[in-house]
C-alpha cells in the first residue's frame, strides 16, 4: 500500500450485508494493520540505531 492511499470506510446496509465481501474487507484491514505494525517496529529500530550512531560518533570525537 502506498503512503498516500486514502482510507475507505465502508458503509454497509445492515439489512443486506454480503458476508463474503465484509470478510474480504475485514481481512484487508487486518493485513494493513499488520503492515503498519511491522513498519512501526522497523522505524523504532532505525531510530534506536541512529541514536546509537550519534552517541558513538560523539564519543569518538571526544576520544581524539
Q: Where are the beta strands (DSSP E) in the chain?
A: none
Residue 12 is assigned to a structural domain of this protein: no
Report the distance separating Cα 33 and Cα 1, nearest Å.
11
Closest alpha carbon to 1 in 23, 25, 33, 26: 33
Task: State the total domains in the chain.
Answer: 1
On whether residue 1 sits in a domain, the answer given is no
Answer yes or no: is 44 within a domain: yes
15/18: higher pLDDT: 18
Judged against a pLDDT cut of 80, whether residue 9 lies above it is answered with no
Residues 6+ apart with CB under 8 A from 12: 22
Per-residue pLDDT, 18: 80
Residue 45 lies in a domain: yes
What is the per-residue pLDDT for 3? 58
Position 55 in a domain: yes
Percent of the chain with pLDDT over 70: 78
| Residue 26: inside a domain | yes
| Alpha-carbon gap, residue 25 to 7, rounded angstroms | 12
pLDDT tens for residues 16-44?
Answer: 778 888 899 999 999 999 999 999 999 99
User: What is the domain extent for residue 42?
Assistant: 19-64
pLDDT at position 53 is: 95
Amino acid at each position: 500500500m502506498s503512503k498516500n492511499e486514502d482510507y475507505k470506510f465502508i458503509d454497509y446496509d445492515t439489512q443486506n450485508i454480503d458476508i463474503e465481501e465484509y470478510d474480504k474487507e475485514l481481512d484487508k484491514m487486518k493485513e494493513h494493520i499488520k503492515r503498519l505494525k511491522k513498519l512501526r517496529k522497523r522505524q523504532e529500530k532505525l531510530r534506536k540505531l541512529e541514536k546509537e550512531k550519534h552517541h558513538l560518533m560523539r564519543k569518538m570525537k571526544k576520544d581524539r
